[in-house]
Amino acid sequence: MLDFVDVGRRTLESYRGVAPDPLLDAVRSAAEPLRGARVLHLNATPYGGGVSELLRSEVPLLDDLGIVADWHIIRGDERFFQVTKAIHNGLQGAAVELGAEQRSVYLSNARTNAAAFTEEYDFVFVHDPQPAAILGIRGRGSSQWIWRCHIDTSAPSPEVWEFVRPFVAEYDAAIFTMEEFVPPGFPVKRVEIIPPAIDPLSPKNLRLPETVAAQVLEWIGIRVDRPLVTQVSRFDPWKDPLGVIAAYRLARREIPNLQLALVGSLALDDPEGWDVYRRIRAEAGDDPLIHVFTNVVGVGNIEVNAFQRLSDVTVQKSLREGFGLVVSESLWKGTPVVAGRVGGIPLQMADGVGGILVDTVEECGAAIVALLEDPQRAASLGERGRDRVREHFLVPRLLLNELALLRELGAGRPFVRAEGWSRDRDPVCGMVIEGGAGVSWTLGEARHRFCSERCRALFSEDPARYLIRR
């Protein structure tokens, strides 16, 4: 069995009054025909970066809607993640060489993870390239497989795309954030365009009183009585942290006491991070107004919340971007954003809503100054940005789009298990239990069989989750 991520519980109802009511009602109706369906989300890391952020919110909500949803992660060592970072960079258009040894590291990891993938689901979402080859090796079983690509693959390196293409060609459907990201000649017929979304109730985005936010920032050394610009991002060259420092230095010529915070997380599947971190530190030197924070020193969701809430401007100076959740996160707090005109960012800041789009370091510096010198304009941009996020980029909208796809893919499938299903299959992981194998447990009149003690324990915690619920 693959490693799983524990996500806790959440209810769709708790979004009432936060997300638009008609949206919540639409999500509930869309989920109705899917009750009892088993859905797996599979990715490479349980924390750090946008994908884990999304899954932490989405998986428990699917569960609340009567769908048995799990989140599993693949295993991989440092060498594997170096290869997948190269593949990621290549798919985003960097000139990357993928030698025979790197290809073999990737494939051997896919074989190991495919062997550990023993469960059965109705739908399997595979996120990004890291786990993409598992389908071809494991076989589809009785599942529908969906490749969810979060990155900008509009102009991939030909060498890397040639390697990845056959793996994704086997999927039943693919999801991209934007139409423009679909690579030329993409081999999957069913392609959906679904932008990601943020969770307004997560610790990172929930309403944090200003006094508390101020205390949090002061605690880590930020002066809240002075102007502050912040970029929150993985430490990654595509996020252009050195460009942010350069733009900040230009802005500081006009606003001498301006502080810069670079808040970056180092993710499990991102070995480049430390290297970028060292380069940032070297560039920042001993400038007391530049602050560099990481998750490794405990700067987590609440601190990010406080930074996005109390900064005068947040920056997202990406050179390439899938979506850039941080943009919606800032706008949701009413904070205006200065951001690179790339990937999914203009989607969030269309028509001048939310802040200023920039193409160069100079434009970035000038935009920071413009917003700091005109607080009224900054506040109005932030406010309109917040409305736009409420309308388009909150997690119930993402659920609605994905449920619509699942309904189409699963048309005619009996998600409500026939009585016999639970007799020959483990109701938790879906594995077929041969003869008298496994362990059993009696609930009321029914006797259930499980592949392992773990599945039995999960079932006994919450039988309703795995049984027919109509």
If the CB atoms of residues 200 and 427 are measured against ligand UDP, the closer one turns out to be 200
Please tell me the distance from the alpha carbon of residue 340 to that of residue 359, in angstroms, as a whole number: 6
Chosen residue from 129, 131, 273, 324 binding ligand UDP by CB under 6 A: 324
* The only residue of 144, 295, 314, 330 in contact with ligand UDP, by rule CB under 6 A: 295
CB of 92 to ligand UDP, least distance (A): 10
Cβ count near 25 (within 10 Å): 13
The residue (of 198 and 381) whose beta carbon lies closer to ligand UDP is 198
Residue type, 311: S
The residue (of 119 and 329) whose beta carbon lies closer to ligand UDP is 329
What minimum distance in Å lies between the beta carbon of 51 and ligand UDP?
Answer: 6
Out of 126, 232, 306, 372, point to the residue binding ligand UDP (CB under 6 A). 232
CB of 234 to ligand UDP, least distance (A): 4
Residue 243: C-alpha distances to residues 215, 273, 311, 318, 358 (Å): 29, 16, 19, 9, 12
Among 329, 363, 402, 426, the residue binding ligand UDP under the rule CB under 6 A is: 329
Distance of alpha carbon 143 from its chain centroid, rounded? 23
Structure tokens at 218: 């002061």
Binding residues for ligand UDP restricted to 256-285, rule: CB under 6 A? 263-265
Q: Residue 87 carries which side chain, given as an amino acid letter?
A: I
Are the C-beta atoms of residues 117 and 181 closer than 8 Å to each other? Answer: no
Residue from 325, 338, 358, 364 in contact with ligand UDP (CB under 6 A): 325
Minimum Å gap between C-beta 285 and ligand UDP is 21
**C-alpha separations of 265 from 3, 82, 87, 90, 409 in Å:** 22, 17, 20, 22, 36
x-or-dash string of contact with ligand UDP, 190-219, rule CB under 6 A: --------------x---------------
Among residues 123, 145, 323, 393, which is the contact residue for ligand UDP, using CB under 6 A? 323
CB nearer to ligand UDP: pick between 113 and 318: 318
Q: Which of 326, 338, 339, 349 binds ligand UDP (CB under 6 A)?
A: 326
Q: Output the six-digit token pair for 177.
A: 């954030």
Question: Which one-letter DSSP state was computed for residue 198?
Answer: B
Using Cβ positions, the residue closest to ligand UDP within the complex turns out to be: 50
The one-letter amino acid code at 282 reads A
Contacts of ligand UDP in 369-408 (CB under 6 A): none
Helices (H), 240-374: 241-254, 273-284, 301-310, 325-332, 345-348, 361-373
Nearer to ligand UDP, 117 or 235 (CB): 235
Least CB distance from residue 203 to ligand UDP, whole Å?
A: 10
Structure tokens, 121: 């689901």
Distance CA 129, CA 151 (A): 9
User: Roughly what angle, to the nearest 10 degrees, separates helices 395-409 and 50-64?
Assistant: 70
Nearest to ligand UDP of 49, 76 (CB atom): 49
Residue 48 CB, shortest distance to ligand UDP, in Å, is: 7
**Three-state DSSP class for 230?**
strand
CA distance 216 to 27: 36
Residue 381 in tokens: 């941009």
Residue 340 · residue 240 · CB < 8 Å:
yes
| 344 vs 389: CA distance, rounded Å | 13
Phi, psi at 67, each rounded to 5°: -105, 140
CB of residue 330 to ligand UDP, shortest distance in Å: 9
The binding track of 48-67 with respect to ligand UDP, each residue x by CB under 6 A or -, is -xx--x--------------
**Residue 325 or 331 having the CB closest to ligand UDP:** 325
Q: Where does this chain touch ligand UDP (CB under 6 A) — which range of 72-80, 230-238, 388-396, 442-450?
A: 230-238
Q: Among residues 119 and 199, whose Cβ is nearest to ligand UDP?
A: 199
Give the binding site for ligand UDP (CB under 6 A).
Answer: 49-50, 53, 204, 232-234, 263-265, 295, 301, 304, 322-326, 329
